[in-house]
Structure 1
Amino acid sequence: MVYVLLAAGLSIIFGVMDVINFAHGEQFALGAYFAFAIAGPLGGAGFWVALVVAPLLVGVVGMGIERLTVKRLYGRDPLYHILLTFGLVLIVNDLITSAWGKSAQPFPIPPILDQPVALFGFNYSLYNYGIIVFGSALALGTWLLLNRTRFGMIIRAGSEDREMVRTLGIDIDRYYTLTFGFGAALAGVAGIVLGAYQNVSPTMGSSVIIPAFVIVVLGGLGSFRGAVVGGLFVGLVQTFARTYAPFLEGLIVFLLMISVLVVKPTGLFGTSVGAGDHHDGALLHGSGGGVLSAETRAKLGYAGVGALLVVPLLAEVTGVTYSVTLLEDILIWALFALSLDLVLGYAGLVSLGHTLFYGVGAYASVLTLMHLSPSVFVALAVAVAVCAAIAWGVGYLSIRVSGVFFAMITLGFAELFYNAVFKFDFTGGPDGLFGVDAFYGLAGLGVDPGEFAVPLGPFVHDGGVVQYYFLLAVVVGSYLLARRLIRAPFGSVLQSIRESEERASFIGYDVTAYKRRAFVVSGGLAGVAGGLFAADNGYVAPSFLHWINSGEVIVMTVLGGMGTLYGPMLGAGVFVAAEDVLSSYIDQWQLVTGVLFVLFVIFVPRGLVSLSRTVADHPLFESAVGGRFRDRVGEQAGVTDPEVDRRE
């Protein structure tokens, strides 16, 4: 019943507004914490007061979020809702930890509900039965609200044809705000119910959001009936798996999710309406958005690589050796973002499960170093081969569907592998694999970082220098390979698919085959990124496959400017560096990062590479300079203004 309440709110928001709300889990946690704060001072009656007041507060917070942020993105591709709400996850989670701390807190239920009750041969507390009764009543009341009231009629009509509703004189935007608040309130109720049953903790939101998405996908995106049936079904399946097939616990629901998406993408009760059909926006790539010519960008690229080459030397001279470690992290994430850009920025495929290839590449690399060869070259080759093979299989199944459904099926595969690595001994289970030594060479010819030492004046460079320069060479080589692919006819076809898949198909291209090939190349490069991190640090853990990595790499790609190759790498550098600097000075660094990212998604959707163009196009700036700077930007970027052309 907790799943039913959680998924119902998520499904209602998507069905009416086409918003994939990743912050729904944090609203779930916020309801639990509001109830915890209200119930404490009030004593025995506090729980009942909190059960009414806390969801209302969460609903108000939800309405504020919709009015201030989500409302600005209506009409855009659903990817931007995902990005926006991912930023909201960082903000809300940091606010929760700032207010209540990072430790779990007990939230006791009233003594009257803690009494054991025997019913039909089962002996549970009255609270357990109360959850079932209360959840059922609330689900029934929600159904009646949606199907038997004027409010429900309007939001159902808005989910079918929102422009027609506006034409009838109804302020549908106000109903959107109420709908978002109502969905958030349902999540808050679920958080209260589960928080009192267990404990309240800052991680409770992230632990339920993925199962919630599984439920709405199984039942049908946007279908309230599907959310109810899916919630009950997933809860029963998990319980039976935990009791009778522990090995399948955590796996079977994702297998079901993938199967449903492959066979019937709209789910058991879903329809094509409400699956992203209402937006008319496209993915906004950053190409042509800057003030620098291609030659100038190339020169800056050469200068950047040259600066990276001398960083280890400067680090030794200045004593700031940590800068080398930070740059290694940036380079690895830059390669990861580059791999995603091939499918997101050029093929228009939103992969929410790209961390699958990053994590599998890391595991393949470490297992190769432990059991096959100590050579990093061999380990990375195995990582590429394994990830490319998995990418082909995942792509073969996933690329049959598109849009939101493609994003969800890739998320399902990533979660399937994430849960699987906990089950096997050869993957190290929850502890992962540690203590791996790497050799940079083949057949005994090469460099052992543990024994490498080269004196240079008063300084001695150790094996870390070898790791750094090898990493830099691989990242630069991967960028050049990706650029070569994009400049070839293959890349031109990908870009035509991104602009209009239907037209590309009409002129004779096998669109599915091209997207699958891009997905394979992208998966291989992501595997290299994961393999490099694992080889450099000597360990791998299940966290490499956690969905949060997929969210962060999408953030980096869009932050820098997708569809440019260098933009996502720039975004990775800014994101990782900002995270490192902010976390060194303030505890609420996630809050600052989240706020900045939300602002970027709303106001600079084409990324950092287009920042100058965005500023030049702003009405205030344009009125101040008379459009002269804007025209100069267009000339430098190779973009012409049709108004200018007509004047000429």
Structure 2
Amino acid sequence: MVPGTQLLDILLNGLTIGMVYVLVAAGLSLVFGVMDVLNLAHGELLALGAYFAFSLVTGFDGGGFWIALIAVPLLVGAVGAVTERGLINRVYGRGQLAQILLTFGLLLIIYDLKRFVWGTDPLFYSPPAVIDRTITVLGFSYSGYSYFIIAAGGLLAAAVWAALNHTRVGLVVRAGSEDREMVRNLGVDIDRYYTVVFGAGAALAAFGGVVLGGYQNVSLEMGNAVIIPAFVIVVLGGLGSFRGAVAGGLLVGIVQSAVSTLLPTIQGVVIFLLMIGVLLVRPQGLFGGTGEGVSAGRSEPSEFVGGLGGGVLTGRGRSRLGVAAVVLLALVPVFSGVIYSGFVVSLLITVLIWALFAMSLDIVLGYTGLISLGHALFYGLGAYATLLTLLYVSPSAFVALGVALATTAITAWVVGHVAIRVSGVYFVMITLAFAEIVRQVVVRADVTGGSSGLFGAPEPLYGIGGVGIRFDEVLVGVEPLLFTGDALFYYFLLAIVVASYLGVSRMMAAPFGTVLRAIRESELRARFVGYEVRSVKRQAFVVSSTLAGLSGALFALYNGFAAPDLLNWINSGNAIIMVVLGGSGTLYGPMIGAAVFTLIERQLSAAIPWWRLLLGTLFVVVVLFLPKGLISLPARLGDDRAGVGGPPASAEEVEPDD
């Protein structure tokens, strides 16, 4: 039996961190409820508040913390308002994917701005001594600063609730969340209220950052650590429900505190299981009304998916260009060590692995219209399955690849069976939840090497039954064209990527691909004409996830290790960037996007510490001005040269997607 003092300690710890969650989730839910914007950069606004608070606390002796409590939310709120007015409002009406993509780009920008201004080391500041002391009541001693966080957060949440329910601004905001067009038709400038709401949400997150920074250290990753539980809270409470955000935040905080104390082995998993259960039983959340969240759970067409209707070139031109690209790639090892160093081969191996991963995601994103933030689950699972097979089952690379494909396919079927029941933002969150659950299991399991990952696998044998070759031990070819090691793996990988592309291309050109595009454009219409929509979406999800697992398996074969970071949701976000950056719904576009992303990451990161800022800026520009991706740039430039209103394309110029 748990002692009473321990229960009280668990409760207060949960209320402390739960109140921070309330401040973050309330702003996130408020923004979504009124504006239908799922802001992935919301956690970075909290971190920005903590960093600003550090500067004020260290710059002003004594009263810096109290100044920060007032000034920082106003400052970050102003940043949020300007961001909404200058960027976010440009993607209204362009689908939820546009908002997710734009805010992910902003996440990268803010992350590197923090790096540039405050550096990479953790920072510390202490609250004023008057609240940073132990308080003893009836023999129970507890941190006075935790009491302060609970009280201050509760008062602020109560003030926001009162403003929403008892002021004219709150009336307009609530009305706009129900029917914005009606409010606009009544002569109210709802856009101004959008700016106010977004700024208020940013200010709430910043206040949470100020108090959290005094509770723990201030670090670059604190925004990422908070945003995932905040998403869980918003879904649990009900998308757009302020009351749900408050109740969900406190609930998650208490549950986390209790589990970390009493059942630490399942810490980090319980809240995701809880969210999945709520999504399946009551998708609108615990406090959402029967009509709330409908738009969040509806698939909607987006200008970012669907290909180019023929792409940059005609079908024959694309085929010729593709053949030329493969020939050029095949020549890369030939000139290694002659024109350039062997590093180029290694770099292109990384590019090809990411290209396969991006292409796999395009099946569900570009062709089916489903946004998955959990695709890294299958990438990481493929890597772990490969290494575990090499370590404990067989040294054969082919056996390891077979086990990885089977493992990811079975897992994808299970996850897809659950996830396909929902759509829209709910699908985003449920895939994210599964990925986080598996990542937490991997971190805590001994067989996976825990947080250190798996290392020490034997050199793969490319053969079966002990008969085969190891690439590092053989020379293939004739003088002067002799290949070994990385060069042989490069050709092996290139063959798999080309074969995968051709196979998926045929699949997308078949009736199966036609059904996927029909579902993407209108799921309701596809269901009406007799398609088994859920079954087809599940099949697409399994194919996509299995290819993602193959890319992870190839990563493990080449690098010889697997780490929990492979399952991090940021990798799923990076893959989405690649897909949209190149051009979704085309298969080859995401592969080009993967090449551009990887080259920017690898080359710029070595020369410029703030490369994420440049990449995020590029991505924001693509989202705003080039939604069809880089492959549409030549056509876009051609249209600009021809002038707006030029002659339409003839029928023979328009071709179906590959």
Q: TM-score range by the shorter chain?
A: over 0.9
The answer to whether the 8 A contact 1:18-1:274 is kept is no
**Structure 1 residue 355 corresponds to structure 2 residue 376:** yes
TM-score (norm 2): 0.93
Quote the residue 2:123 is aligned against. Answer: 105
**Structure 1 residue 76 corresponds to structure 2 residue 63:** no
Q: Deviations over 1:385-420 (max 9, x none)?
A: 111111111111111111111111111111111111
Question: Match for 1:539 among 556, 561, 580?
Answer: 561
Q: Which amino acid aligns with 1:239?
A: S
Quote the residue 2:358 is aligned against. Answer: 337
Deviation, 1:579, is 1.8
Deviation, 1:458, is 5.9
CA distance in 2, matches of 1:113, 1:2: 17
- Given the superposition, is the C-alpha separation of residues 37 and 633 from structure 1 closer, same or farther in structure 2, using an over 3 Å criterion? farther
Deviation, 1:361, is 0.8
CA distance in 2, matches of 1:604, 1:123: 58
Question: Match for 2:347 among 326, 338, 341?
Answer: 326
CA distance in 1, matches of 2:611, 2:254: 39
Residues 465-474 or 312-321, more deviating: 312-321
Task: Kindly report which structure 2 residues correspond to 1:176-325, keeping only aligned pairs within 5 A, or say none.
Answer: 176-271=194-289, 272-276=291-295, 282-284=302-304, 285-288=306-309, 290-325=311-346
CA distance in 1, matches of 2:556, 2:247: 42
CA distance in 1, matches of 2:362, 2:215: 43
Deviation, 1:77, is 1.4
- Given the superposition, is the C-alpha separation of residues 186 and 633 from structure 1 closer, same or farther in structure 2, using an over 3 Å criterion? farther
Quote the residue 1:119 is aligned against. Answer: 137
Quote the residue 1:510 is aligned against. Answer: 532
Deviation, 1:600, is 0.3
Q: Secondary structure at the match of 2:463?
A: strand
- Given the superposition, is the C-alpha separation of residues 66 and 289 from structure 1 closer, same or farther in structure 2, using an over 3 Å criterion? farther
CA distance in 1, matches of 2:195, 2:138: 44
Quote the residue 2:57 is aligned against. Answer: 39
CA RMSD of aligned residues (A): 1.8
CA distance in 2, matches of 1:429, 1:122: 37
Residues 180-189 or 261-270, more deviating: 261-270
Q: Secondary structure at the match of 2:374?
A: coil
Q: Secondary structure at the match of 1:131?
A: helix
Quote the residue 1:442 is aligned against. Answer: 464
The answer to whether the 8 A contact 1:222-1:275 is kept is no
Quote the residue 2:629 is aligned against. Answer: 607
Deviation, 1:637, is 4.0
The answer to whether the 8 A contact 2:346-2:486 is kept is no
**Structure 1 residue 560 corresponds to structure 2 residue 582:** yes
Residues 339-348 or 440-449, more deviating: 440-449
Q: Which amino acid aligns with 1:303?
A: A
CA distance in 1, matches of 2:294, 2:205: 21
Q: Deviations over 1:314-357 (max 9, x none)?
A: 12222421111111111111111111111111111111111111
**Structure 1 residue 368 corresponds to structure 2 residue 389:** yes
Deviation, 1:121, is 4.3
CA distance in 2, matches of 1:120, 1:384: 60
- Given the superposition, is the C-alpha separation of residues 571 and 123 from structure 1 closer, same or farther in structure 2, using an over 3 Å criterion? same
CA distance in 2, matches of 1:560, 1:403: 23
The answer to whether the 8 A contact 2:385-2:403 is kept is yes
Quote the residue 1:644 is aligned against. Answer: none
* Runs of at least 5 residues in structure 1 that lack an aligned partner in the other structure: 640-648
The answer to whether the 8 A contact 1:218-1:230 is kept is yes
Q: Secondary structure at the match of 2:130?
A: helix
Question: Equivalent pairs: percent with the same residue?
Answer: 55
Quote the residue 1:482 is aligned against. Answer: 504
Residues 149-158 or 579-588, more deviating: 579-588
CA distance in 2, matches of 1:567, 1:280: 21
The answer to whether the 8 A contact 1:454-1:462 is kept is yes
Q: Deviations over 1:286-341 (max 9, x none)?
A: 22263410000000000000111110111222242111111111111111111111
Q: Deviations over 1:363-400 (max 9, x none)?
A: 11111111111111111111111111111111111111
Q: Secondary structure at the match of 1:106?
A: coil
Q: Secondary structure at the match of 1:290?
A: coil
Q: Which amino acid aligns with 1:235?
A: G
CA distance in 2, matches of 1:31, 1:452: 57
Q: Which amino acid aligns with 1:324?
A: V
Q: Which amino acid aligns with 1:75?
A: G
Quote the residue 1:408 is aligned against. Answer: 429
Q: Deviations over 1:421-474 (max 9, x none)?
A: 011100110011012221111122221123123475467532212211111111
CA distance in 1, matches of 2:188, 2:423: 32
Q: Secondary structure at the match of 1:433?
A: coil
CA distance in 2, matches of 1:290, 1:460: 38
Deviation, 1:609, is 2.0
**Structure 1 residue 526 corresponds to structure 2 residue 548:** yes
Task: Kindly report which structure 2 residues correspond to 1:383-398, keeping only aligned pairs within 5 A, or say none.
Answer: 383-398=404-419
Q: Which amino acid aligns with 1:363?
A: Y
Q: Deviations over 1:486-505 (max 9, x none)?
A: 11111111111111111111
- Given the superposition, is the C-alpha separation of residues 21 and 442 from structure 1 closer, same or farther in structure 2, using an over 3 Å criterion? same
Quote the residue 1:591 is aligned against. Answer: 613
Quote the residue 2:30 is aligned against. Answer: 12
Question: Match for 1:494 among 516, 527, 535?
Answer: 516
Quote the residue 1:423 is aligned against. Answer: 444
The answer to whether the 8 A contact 2:123-2:218 is kept is yes
Quote the residue 2:15 is aligned against. Answer: none
The answer to whether the 8 A contact 1:392-1:520 is kept is yes
Deviation, 1:111, is 1.2
Deviation, 1:265, is 1.2
- Given the superposition, is the C-alpha separation of residues 94 and 267 from structure 1 closer, same or farther in structure 2, using an over 3 Å criterion? same
- Given the superposition, is the C-alpha separation of residues 513 and 459 from structure 1 closer, same or farther in structure 2, using an over 3 Å criterion? closer
CA distance in 2, matches of 1:313, 1:242: 55
Quote the residue 1:29 is aligned against. Answer: 47
Deviation, 1:481, is 1.1
CA distance in 1, matches of 2:303, 2:347: 31
Q: Deviations over 1:265-284 (max 9, x none)?
A: 11101244355369975353
CA distance in 2, matches of 1:142, 1:635: 58
Residues 339-348 or 461-470, more deviating: 461-470
- Given the superposition, is the C-alpha separation of residues 126 and 13 from structure 1 closer, same or farther in structure 2, using an over 3 Å criterion? same
| Number of aligned residues | 634
Q: Secondary structure at the match of 2:336?
A: helix
Q: Which amino acid aligns with 1:45?
A: G
Q: Which amino acid aligns with 1:541?
A: A
Deviation, 1:634, is 8.1
- Given the superposition, is the C-alpha separation of residues 477 and 121 from structure 1 closer, same or farther in structure 2, using an over 3 Å criterion? farther
CA distance in 2, matches of 1:531, 1:327: 17
Q: Which amino acid aligns with 1:169?
A: G
Quote the residue 2:7 is aligned against. Answer: none
Question: Match for 1:467 among 489, 501, 514?
Answer: 489
Residues 534-543 or 453-462, more deviating: 453-462
